[in-house]
Amino acid sequence: MKKHVIILLFLILLISACTKKEEKEITPLDRLGEYVDLWSKAEFTKMYDEFIEERSKEAFGKEQFVDRTELLYKDLGIKDVIVEFDKPEAEEEVYNKEESYTYPVRIKMETIAGPIEFEKDVALVNEVRDEKDNWYIQWDPSFTLPDLMKQDKVGVSIIPSNRGEIFDRNDNAIAINGSGIEVGIVPEQFDIDENAEKLANILGTTSEFIDKQLNQSWVLPNHFVPIKKLAFTQEAIYDEAKQIAGVESKKTDLREYPYAGALSHLIGYIGRINADELEELKDEGYAESDVVGKRGLEQLLEEQLRGEDGVRIYIEKTDHNAEKIIIAEKTAVDGKKITLTIDAELQKTTFEAMNHEPGTAAVINPETGETLVLASSPAFDPNEFAIGVSASRYNELTEDPNQPLLNRFAATYAPGSAIKPVTAAIGLAAGTLKPEKGHTINDNKWQKDSSWGNFKVSRLYSPPNPVDLQKALVYSDNIYFAMEALSMGKDQFVEGFTKFGFGEVIPFSYPLRKSQISNDGKIASEGQLADTSFGQGQMLMNIVHLATSYAPIITDGKMFKPILFEDEPKSEVWKEGLISPENASILRKDLREIVVKGSAKDADIPSIKISGKTGTAELKSSQNESGKENGFFVAYPTEDMSYIFAMMIEGVEDQGGSSHVVKKVAEVMSK
């Protein structure tokens, strides 16, 4: 029995000895592998507690290792950290615990300033803790960022980008990163009791605000204290303000709109982002100090115009004369340059001709679809809005009966008799209108029969009988067009105008209200059919569509997609087959006769031959205004037919009707 017990004990001891012998000794490489794994996972507390040598802990402490590193990861947006090292091909059989072992590692990471990559030699030493020896890392802050030492400062600087600029077809600046005037006060030269109220009235601010600015903690007697920025178009305000002793100015960077009100409704303006916009755009990197487009193309093209700021991460050394070492940099990307098809000088001339009267105008190239003018009058100064318009000034604009903040080219209006050439084109295409066929019309009021009740169609002029197409256009005879619409019938009438793009959103880069035949796209009665044939009833059009609808008369049946940007395809067909070349030729002759003999005689000028059609309509806009008459004139140069000019002016009933508009268009076309 004793013999068996002895043998059993021997076997147990033998197995135990063999097991210990077979247990693999932990090597520096094993420890480095575990450390690298934790490093990639950013488990800094565990790294510090279990892997850092005591001397490193004494030198830097947990605050440097854990707290500072976590803060740097947060502030610098450090993520996707990859730490790699190559194991030696032949690992040492025995590691001397009295020596240190060093291995190169490669660190890669992504930051707010782009990628950072660097190499680091990692040394491991053997220490005994809790009666067990193990390998520990010799650490310093350069493990986190290259060349970083304990007392160094890590900085982040923003590299500002430039907002994209907008130019016209001739490279004239429309919206650029220009300059303005910053008006300020030098306190020691300024009598606040005598002049604060006076200056406040000039600048559109308050004496309380001026007092607050002058009492900021940093202000010294000889300091320049900014009070208000002024646009270059507000030079008259500064000229008045600088008469006060102690008022000076400095040049300041501002968004500049050289054409001011002439292009304000199209271009819009930028302004400081508000709380609602910031909430909406918070995921796109906007900050409280940013500006955004507020109206027009500045708003529509915000994504393209907005630049992307660059970022630079640097280390400011404490032992090398505050040398800054850049460790990562993402360059700024400027916003896109936008070139429009607009001719800014022609737009300015058109806007000035409108003389701040309520209305709108568009000029289109019928062969390419290029938009040369897109104006709304009256307007506002976008330079004033870009620096921040006061509440009183904004109220003044909103309460103006002429509504300078209303974008009229985006709205729709009853086109009146300006639509008659389109009605004629549809009738000619349908074969129901015979240009040589005349109607005998004896009175200035007409109805088909007694079924119309009290409804009658009226006309202003009485052309000699029989009234054919040319006479009807020259004299703008509503009765003739009502008769032809009835001959055409509701179905062909609606189909014809649908082919001209009514009822659909016009394919244009700027959002415009779509034109309509009626509120529901249908014609309910013969009376409505008659009314609609000469642009009344419920018919509404935007000014771009009105100009474009004349293009088939010039292009022998094609209507090209209107475009606003130079990089858009030109001469892209929107509608075709709208009128035959023969019928287009008939209408071209008639439109010239309207100027020579008819309602547009004021455009019969020696400097240029003009063809076109006038129109007068009761005001029916998408803003539900009524009670006045709108005057229209759609014209083109007879000989080269290189553009179509459409203008509408509101409230012409006391200014000679549509002839008031004819004179304005002729004035612009003659230049």
> Which positions are annotated as active-site residues?
417
Secondary structure (DSSP) of 286-323? --TT-EEE-SHHHHHTHHHH--B-EEEEEEE-SSSTT-
What distance lies between CA 28 and its chain's CA centroid? Answer: 59
Tokens of 583: 């019928």
Secondary structure (DSSP) of 546-582? HHHHTHHHHHTS-EEPPB-BTTSPSS-EEE--SS-HH
**Do 342 and 373 touch, CB atoms closer than 8 A?**
yes
**Do 360 and 243 touch, CB atoms closer than 8 A?**
no
Q: Determine the Cα–Cα distance for residues 382 and 389; give it in Å rounded to an integer.
A: 10
- In the three-class reduction of DSSP (H, G, I as helix; E, B as strand; rest coil), residue 109 is classed as strand
Strands 359-364 and 338-339, bridge-based pairing? unpaired
CA atoms within a 13 Å half-sphere pointing along the CA-CB vector of 594: 34
Q: Determine the Cα–Cα distance for residues 487 and 176; give it in Å rounded to an integer.
A: 55
403-408: long-range pairs with CB below 8 Å, 24+: 403/358, 403/378, 404/261, 404/378, 404/379, 404/380, 405/380, 406/376, 406/623, 407/265, 407/296, 407/376, 408/265, 408/358, 408/359, 408/360, 408/376, 408/377, 408/543, 408/621, 408/648
First-to-final CA distance of the chain: 130
